[in-house]
């Protein structure tokens, strides 16, 4: 900006000098025209008295010549001024921007999804309610899950009793084997008696190990099912506001595992997600200045790019994909997240915004060289 101001001052000085020269030239022309009648004299034949006669042709030629000189000087001055202006514009620094559109989205938001297939049994919150982290939002019920945990708990009890029974048998066979081994060393019983007891003990040991393994598997399965049962209570993962539209209509509805139930958002802070045309991605970088203007406000708000997505797509919308508005004409782009230095007083979820991202501050000459 200092360079532009200096050039403007030089131009103003140059214009002043030209005007001063033109003024002096007009004054000289007027004085010269006053002297013309005195310089042109013709003698009368009768009495020899000289008569001063105005020479109109000489005056016209001088005037035309002076006019041509003045016109040439004006043209030259115009050319010089135009050249200075062009050079000034070529060297002046400008902000070169990428212009696009974006949407206001909460900086912090989470979607609660169904942990398993089931019906939304109890709904404790509705759209617009404030929730605290850890508070119960709803409950989801799965009758098959309840049946599975009941069945596997019963199997676990049976297997546990078998483990205990085989354990008692194994203990008895161990004592019998030790007694027969002692009698065999004393030569009282034959070897076959010892081998038979040894085989019975080995079979009981293998059976005990298999039953213990089955019991461990069932215990793990029952614990997992109990964890799922505990997940029937959907707990808010953060503090915020329920923003899901018509959430109360979801009560008693069936949800598949992973399906969205509701969204919680912190509406105290927003960011702007803007879709950058893929052709401009090489110009973009985190930390660049950005300017955002909402349709509801006339002021441009300053911010900066804090994130650039690693993929090309559409903005990550929510609130039922911004109330299911049509996106048929929208093109994919690289999503840039912009943080505002100072937010307007009122921003609403999903508000449209015009976005300008400054990717370069350079003169026209430098900009053309970059291309």
**Per-residue pLDDT, 3:** 46
Report helix angle 143-185 to 191-230, nearest 10. 160
Are 336 and 307 in contact by the 8 Å Cβ rule? The answer is yes
Domain spans in the chain, listed from the N-terminal domain onward: 2-91, 96-110+262-370, 143-230
- Please tell me the distance from the alpha carbon of residue 42 to that of residue 20, in angstroms, as a whole number: 38
- C-alpha distances in Å from residue 262, one per residue of 53, 127, 182, 235: 107, 9, 73, 11
C-alpha R_g of the chain: 48
Q: Report pLDDT for 119.
A: 87
Under a CB-based contact definition with an 8 Å cutoff, are residues 99 and 355 in contact? Answer: yes
Taking alpha carbons only, the member of 360, 357, 358, 361 closest to residue 275 is 357
Q: How far is CA 110 from CA 128, 152, 236, 241, 252, in A?
A: 15, 34, 9, 11, 22
Paired with 15 in beta bridges are: none
CB 115 within 8 A of CB 140: yes
The pLDDT value recorded for residue 47 is: 47
CB 150 within 8 A of CB 283: no
The answer to whether 315 touches 105, Cβ cutoff 8 Å, is yes
Report the top-level CATH class of 96-110+262-370: mainly beta
Q: Tell me which residues of the chain have a pLDDT lower than 50.
A: 1-4, 39-56, 318-324, 328
| The predicted structure's pLDDT at residue 245 | 83
pTM of the model: 0.51
SS (H, E, C) the chain: CHHHHHHHHHHHHHHHHHHHHHHHHHHHHHHHHHHHHHHCEEECCCCCCEEECCCHHHHHHHHHHHHHHHHHHHHHHHHHHHHHHHHHHHHCEEEEEEEEEEEEEEEEEEEEECCCCEEEEEECCCCCCEECCCCEEEEEECHHHHHHHHHHHHHHHHHHHHHHHHHHHHHHHHHHHHHHHHHHHCCCCCHHHHHHHHHHHHHHHHHHHHHHHHHHHHHHHHHHHHHHHHCCEEECCCCEEECCCCHHHHCCCEECCCCEEEEEEEEEEEEEEEEECHHHHHHCCCCCEEEEEECCCCCCEEEEEEEEEEEEECCCCCHHHHHHCCCCCCCCEEEEEEEECCCCCCCCCCCEEEEEEEEEEEEHHHHHHHC
């Amino acid at each position: 900006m200092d360079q532009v101001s200096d050039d403007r001052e030089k131009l103003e000085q140059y214009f002043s000098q030209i005007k001063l020269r033109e003024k002096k030239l007009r004054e000289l022309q007027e004085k010269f025209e006053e002297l013309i009648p005195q310089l042109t004299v013709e003698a009368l034949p009768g009495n020899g008295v000289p008569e001063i006669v105005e020479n109109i042709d000489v005056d016209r030629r001088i005037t035309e010549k002076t006019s041509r000189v003045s016109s040439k000087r004006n043209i030259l001055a115009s050319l010089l001024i135009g050249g200075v202006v062009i050079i000034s514009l070529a060297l002046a620094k400008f902000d070169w921007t990428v212009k696009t559109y974006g949407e206001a989205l909460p900086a912090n938001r989470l979607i609660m999804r169904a942990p398993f297939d089931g019906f939304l049994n109890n709904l404790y919150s509705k759209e617009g309610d404030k929730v605290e982290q850890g508070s119960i939002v709803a409950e989801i019920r799965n009758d098959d899950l309840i049946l599975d945990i009941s069945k596997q708990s019963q199997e676990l009890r049976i297997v546990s009793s078998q483990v205990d029974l085989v354990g008692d048998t194994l203990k008895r066979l161990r004592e019998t084997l030790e007694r027969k081994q002692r009698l065999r060393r004393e030569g009282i019983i034959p070897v076959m008696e010892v081998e038979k007891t040894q085989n019975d003990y080995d079979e009981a040991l293998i059976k005990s190990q298999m039953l213990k393994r089955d019991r461990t598997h069932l215990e793990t399965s029952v614990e997992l099912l109990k964890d799922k049962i505990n997940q029937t209570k959907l707990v808010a993962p953060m503090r915020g506001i329920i923003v899901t539209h018509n959430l109360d209509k979801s009560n008693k509805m069936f949800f598949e595992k992973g399906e969205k139930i509701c969204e919680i958002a912190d509406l105290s802070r927003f960011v702007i997600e803007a879709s950058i045309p893929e052709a401009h991605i090489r110009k973009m970088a985190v930390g660049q200045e950005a300017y955002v203007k909402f349709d509801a406000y006339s002021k441009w708000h300053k911010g900066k790019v804090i994130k650039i997505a690693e993929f090309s797509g559409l903005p990550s919308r929510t609130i039922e994909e911004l109330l299911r508005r049509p996106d048929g004409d929208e093109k994919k782009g690289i999503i840039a997240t912009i943080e505002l230095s100072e937010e307007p007083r009122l921003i609403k979820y999903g508000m449209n915004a015009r976005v300008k991202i400054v990717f370069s501050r350079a003169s026209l000459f430098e900009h053309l060289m970059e291309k």
